[in-house]
Amino acid sequence: MAEWHGVWIVAEQWQGELKRVSFELLGRARVLAEKLKAPLGAVLLGHKMKEAAQELIYHGADQVYLVDHPILFHFDPDAYANCLEFLIREERPAIVVAAATTTGRTLMPMMAARLGTGLTADCTELDIEEETGLLLQTRPAIGGNVMATIKTPKHRPQLATVRPRSHPPSERDSSRNGEIIEVSLPEELFKTRFKVLGFEKLGTEETRIEDADVVVCAGRGLGRPDSLNLVRELAKLLGGAIGGTRAVVDQGWLPYPCQVGLSGKTVSPKLYIACGVSGAIQHLAGMRGSRFVIAINKDPHAQIFRVADLAIVGDVNEILPRLIKRLRELKEHG
């Protein structure tokens, strides 16, 4: 399989603007490329995105394969899959990594089926096996109770998707040089069965937990839905967003876009406050990238305390009002 060489990421854009996850992918894939001593490529599908392609080089790409067409302005499963398949067959990268977003979760299974190879979805870690050079793809398995490491030894390319916010974005270096390869593809590849009728925003700003610098997360330890008012007030005072465990969302206390964990969203805020959260492994998988964790729980043996930087043992319904009162006093006195 010597003819398969190099590491690629599938960059994402929305209406002509690169998404943060593109830079997260470059940061993660750069490590893989350096271990393999191989070039790092990025595929960018869009319309009028020459400047964006240059940004990918500044953030770590050695080559950017740029496909420009009006139909690619928005994500189109048919056109995107046709273009990516064509490029992979022509250039033969050994590894292709995409984000576990709507785009990546739609596109990469199609690639696996069309190319006759494997795909490991929702990876939390990627590495290179020293002896073989194979991609080590680690993801939660058996309901999140174990971490499985998967390899694709007999087929190429090796495909994986990784969760957004599970890796910091690569640093920008405007002195980096790279190659932008503008690819002209046959017009037939842009044919599609889909017609875009419009876009509807999902959720509210309150539910954009993946973009928040502060996340205050509600767990079942709150005891009752009325206690969510305390969580909301604390989040508002800190300029943050409200998250919730699966148990809280399943009970209807919070909408699904607020869910943190293996079956919800991955967050990496500067501050994460867990209120009455037990710390099941499925939940920890969604917040382990948080920079500083404060946990409040009346159970001194709660699993959440194992990852907390500051642990507070006590009833969250007694501690939150005192914390809120103190924050108000600090705000009032500047």
pLDDT one-digit tens code per residue, 226-266:
999 999 999 999 999 999 999 999 999 999 889 998 778 88
Can you tell me the mean pLDDT for 87-114?
A: 95
Percent of the chain clearing pLDDT 90 (strictly above):
74
Outline which parts of the chain fall under CATH 3.40.50.620.
Answer: 7-190
pLDDT digits (tens, 9 = 90+) for 192-233: 998 888 877 655 545 578 888 999 999 999 999 999 999 999
pLDDT given at position 310: 94
C-alpha–C-alpha distance, residues 147 and 150, integer Å: 10
- In the predicted structure, residue 115 carries a pLDDT above the cut 50: yes
pLDDT value of position 61: 95
pLDDT tens-digit map of 41-90: 999 999 999 999 999 999 999 999 999 999 999 999 999 999 999 999 99
Q: How many CA atoms are closer than 13 Å to the CA of 36, on its beta-carbon side? A: 26
Tokens 């998967």 belong to: 150
Q: Which of 230, 210, 233 is nearest to 221 (CA)?
A: 230
Say what the pLDDT of residue 142 is.
66
Return d(Cα 24, Cα 51) in angstroms, integer. Answer: 18
The closest of 185, 155, 32, 150 to 97, measured between CA atoms, is 32
CATH 3.40.50.1220-classified regions of the chain: 205-332
**Mean of pLDDT values over 20-39:** 94
- Per residue in 310-327, pLDDT (tens digit) is 999 999 999 999 999 999
CA atoms of 279 and 144, how far apart (whole Å)? 12
Q: Which residues contact 119 (CB under 8 A, 6 or more apart)?
A: 108, 109, 111, 112, 159, 160, 161
Token pair belonging to 290 = 């948080």
- What's the average model confidence in pLDDT over 8-14? 95
Choice between 87 and 2, residue whose per-residue pLDDT is larger: 87
What pLDDT score does 205 carry?
47
CATH superfamily placement of domain 205-332: TPP-binding domain (3.40.50.1220)
pLDDT bucket at 2, cuts 50 / 70 / 90: low
Model pTM score: 0.75
Say what the pLDDT of residue 203 is.
54
pLDDT digits (tens, 9 = 90+) for 149-171: 999 999 999 999 998 887 888 99
Q: What angle do CA 111, 72, 103 make, to 5 degrees?
A: 45
In this structure, what token pair is assigned to residue 189? 């590849």
The pLDDT, as a whole number, for residue 211 is 80
Question: What pLDDT is attached to residue 200?
Answer: 72
| Alpha-carbon separation of residue 15 from 18, 70, 293 (angstroms) | 9, 11, 35
* The domain defined by 7-190 carries CATH number 3.40.50.2000: no
Q: Give the SS3 label for residue 117.
A: coil
pLDDT higher than threshold 90 for residue 305: yes
The 10s digit of each residue's pLDDT in 127-147 is: 999 999 999 998 877 665 677
Per-residue pLDDT for 182 more than 70? yes
3-state SS, residue 329: helix
CA-closest candidate to residue 288, choices 185, 159, 97, 138: 138
Residue 146 has a pLDDT of: 74
